[in-house]
Amino acid sequence: MATRALSGLIGKGTGGGWWEQLPAGTVRISRLRVTDSPRLRGTDAGHVRALVESASVLPPIVVHRPSMSVIDGAHRLSVAVQCGVEEIEARFFDGDDDEAFVLAVEANVTHGLPLSLADRKAAATRLIHSYPQWSDRAIADVVRLSPKTIGAMRARATEDAPRLPARIGRDGKARPVDSAEGRRAAGEFLAAHPEASVRAVAKAVGIAPATARDVRQRWRNGEELVPKRGRPAATREPTADVVPLTSSVAVRSLMPALLKDPGLRHTETGRMLLRLLDATMRVRDDCGLVDSVPEHCVGLVAEVARECSNAWREFAERVQSERRSVGS
């Protein structure tokens, strides 16, 4: 994801964000545009005057290379224009428009003239629609609002806002939005497989083992599978653990989000991983792959496919264990 689990000698100063690692160079001011800013009122003339009078060294601006729009640094650009400068130092971002907007918000809440509360709320509304797969906490981290505020804004979102079965948090891990749906699915699975183990139920419908255990107990006792809101806190299901989304429907719904995530798209290894994951998910859709296997290759293809399955399983375990240890 974009969130990083953004007058003197213009363009020679230092900033304070991950965008400092973007490729740098000079660009003619006449080529630049100032559009799609998270600032509802545009540039602040008073802030521009203060920068001109300060004669301080300013960091490079950040430019969206595909459109040549200024992502971060509209005030610095105005300073350059007033100083009669024809070129300005810049860092270049190659993502899409939505990713550029995320970067613009990140950069402008961490340095320079901070975004107003109205600016940040407007940005949050846009992110809720552009990145419905992001959790409330992940969006809150970008716009510097509370997760509770983002949750309330999401609840008021219009009907055309996408509703997904899971969301991705700041740590990059997916969690289901509605545990009630998972509980009902678990009840249906138990009705068809009454002797199924807790682990089998959890894996089949994509819920946490603790939730599957509670559902099985309730199902056996003839109780409501979805606990009422007034259920004592001591008996509520734990929410801190990551819920494994092993349901094929849930996993498939997250692939578009992964394919769009800048944290993966903007590195060579990340793009390679996305291509491999996307290709693997397409195997589930068949696409005539089974019929394409010649009779004399059936055994070999099946054996290699099993080994690929084992490789992905080992990769999943390494990602969870190694990345968890890095974050701890």
CATH number for the domain spanning 71: value is 3.90.1530.10
Q: Return the residue matching tokens 């899409």.
A: 96
- Within this chain, do residues 91 and 22 fall inside the same structural domain, yes or no? yes
Query: Residue 232: what pLDDT?
Result: 39
User: CA 42, CA 296: separation in Å to the nearest integer?
Assistant: 67
> 288: left (phi > 0), else alpha (psi -120 to 50), else beta?
left
- Within this chain, do residues 154 and 223 fall inside the same structural domain, yes or no? no
Quote the crossing angle between the two packed helices 136-143 and 97-110, to the nearest 10°: 60
Torsion of the alpha carbons at 321, 133, 155 and 117, rounded to the nearest 10: 90
Residue 8 lies in a domain: no
Helix, strand or coil, per DSSP, at residue 308: helix
Residue 28 lies in a domain: yes
Query: Residue 70: what pLDDT?
Result: 94
Contact 39, 120 (CB under 8 A): no
- Within this chain, do residues 209 and 125 fall inside the same structural domain, yes or no? no
- Within this chain, do residues 189 and 201 fall inside the same structural domain, yes or no? yes
Residue 240 lies in a domain: no
- Within this chain, do residues 25 and 102 fall inside the same structural domain, yes or no? yes
Burial of 31 (0-12, 13-18, 19+ CB in 10 A): exposed
- Within this chain, do residues 32 and 104 fall inside the same structural domain, yes or no? yes
Angle value at C-alpha 104, between 119 and 158, nearest 5 degrees: 50
Give the count of beta carbons closer than 10 Å to the beta carbon of residue 165.
18
Q: What are 23-70's pLDDT values in tens digits?
A: 999 999 999 999 888 998 888 888 888 888 887 778 899 999 999 999
Contact 160, 125 (CB under 8 A): no
- Within this chain, do residues 296 and 255 fall inside the same structural domain, yes or no? no
- Within this chain, do residues 207 and 261 fall inside the same structural domain, yes or no? no
Residue 222 lies in a domain: yes
Residue 12 lies in a domain: no
pTM for the model: 0.53
CB within 8 Å of 22: residues ≥ 6 apart: 62, 91, 92, 93
Residue among 163, 169, 158 at smallest CA distance from 125: 158
Query: Residue 322: what pLDDT?
Result: 66
Q: What are 114-150's pLDDT values in tens digits?
A: 899 999 999 999 998 888 888 888 899 899 998 889 8
Query: Residue 268: what pLDDT?
Result: 81
- Please tell me the total count of domains within the chain: 5
What are the start-end ranges of the E strands in the chain? 24-28, 61-64, 69-72, 87-93, 166-168, 174-176
For residue 199, the Cα-to-chain-centroid distance in whole angstroms is: 28
Burial of 85 (0-12, 13-18, 19+ CB in 10 A): middle
- Within this chain, do residues 280 and 290 fall inside the same structural domain, yes or no? no
Name residues of the chain where pLDDT drops below 50. Answer: 1-15, 230-247, 249, 326-328
The domain of 307 spans 286-328
Query: Residue 109: what pLDDT?
Result: 84
Residue 32 lies in a domain: yes
- Within this chain, do residues 104 and 22 fall inside the same structural domain, yes or no? yes
